[in-house]
Every structure is written in C-alpha cells, then in structure tokens.
Amino acid sequence: MDEEQPVVDAAQPGGTPDIPGTGHVDDVVGPDPLVIRDAATGAAVPDAFQRLWNPHRMAYIDAGRDGKGRGHEDDCPFCEAPRKSDEDALIVARGEHAYVLLNLFPYNNGHLLVCPYRHVPLYDEATAEETREMAELTQTAMRVLREVSHCDGFNIGMNQGEIAGAGVAAHLHQHIVPRWASDSNFFPIIARTKSMSQLLGDTRRLVAEGWPAAD
C-alpha cells in the first residue's frame, strides 16, 4: 500500500496565501515585504544555467538602448574617457593617436582596452598612424602586464560590430586579457562567475607605474 503523502501548503512559510509558491523576507526596508517566488511552482521552464544577478549593469545596457556609444560621439564612453583624469577614467597610458585603459567589466585582472581617440567603429577605417600606435601600445601593454602580474599568456582581439559582440560598437577598441595557468578553475566553468582578486584602481596604478616613460 502506498504511503500517504503529506499535504503541503502551496504558499511557503511566511508567504502570501493567495500567491502560490511564494515566501517573503521580513527585514526589508519599505512598506511591503520582499516577495520571493519558488521556481518550482512559478511560471518557468528550467534550464542548465545559473543566474548571477547584476542589476548595476542595467546602466550600461540602457546606455546602449539610448544610443550612447552606438554612433554618437558626444556620449561615447571611449570619447569621454580621455577628457577625465587617468584615475577617474582608469587610463594607464596615453599616446598621440590612441590610449590604453582598464575594462570596467574585466574578464580577468588586468584586462586592458586599446582605443584610438578618434571616434571610428571598424579596424579597416582606422588610419595607418592609429593602427601603428595601437599595435605599439598593445606590445607595451603585454610587456608591462608580464612584469607586474606575471601572467602566462594573453587573449588579444577585437569584436567588430554589435552582431559580433562589441559592447560599444561605434568606437574601435582592442581587448588585451592576461591569462594564468590557474585562472580557469571550477568557479567560472561551473558557476559562470569570475573571482576578481584586485580592485580596478589598484590594477590601474600598478600598470601605470610599470608603463615605460615616453622618450
């Protein structure tokens, strides 16, 4: 004979009786409690992905929706950065035609971007002077990163156009991502999460101090 199954209330402890599969957190500032819905009873189709909620990135996403950095020089973050101080813009080096700064959303510690000052979207639209200096800055960045971070390798590349994954498609930028033998552990592979061990300001200072002085 089958065991009698206990009757389980659809609402979780502390939940809202007329909303099945909910609970709430009491110690939240505001007139109403924070309602938490149980995924097992909510309207959802489960998949293999875990979610790391990063609401602060909405500022970056909304900027793209408003056209910022998508063809408008007056609100492009890579046009705006050189007008700020090196510390505020996370710039580590300035050249004549291009400059180097830290990525605000790094894939790894020391993730750098090399950008021309000129607001141009594609690599084949850059001038010979811009491409030459971007190449020289890239080589210098690699040497400095090896010196200050003792990295084992690099990923270097450009995403050309929004369809190719460019975050700011209207302004050309090259990624320089230092790599270490142990940087692909279970955390990014299983949890889809990167553990950043150094603050951006500290990284900028180390790279800037290691950058060779201009002749």
Residues serving a catalytic function are 173
How far from 78 is each of 98, 102, 105, 109, 162, CA to CA, in Å?
A: 11, 11, 14, 20, 16
Q: Is the dihedral of CA 205, 143, 158, 75 positive or negative?
A: positive
Q: Which residues lie below 8 Å from residue 104, measured CB to CB, with a gap of 6+?
A: 90, 200
Report DSSP state, residue 133.
H
CA-only gyration radius of the chain, Å: 24
Which of 26, 24, 22, 25 lies closest to 10 in space, CA to CA? Answer: 22
In contact, 77 and 113? CB cutoff 8 Å: no
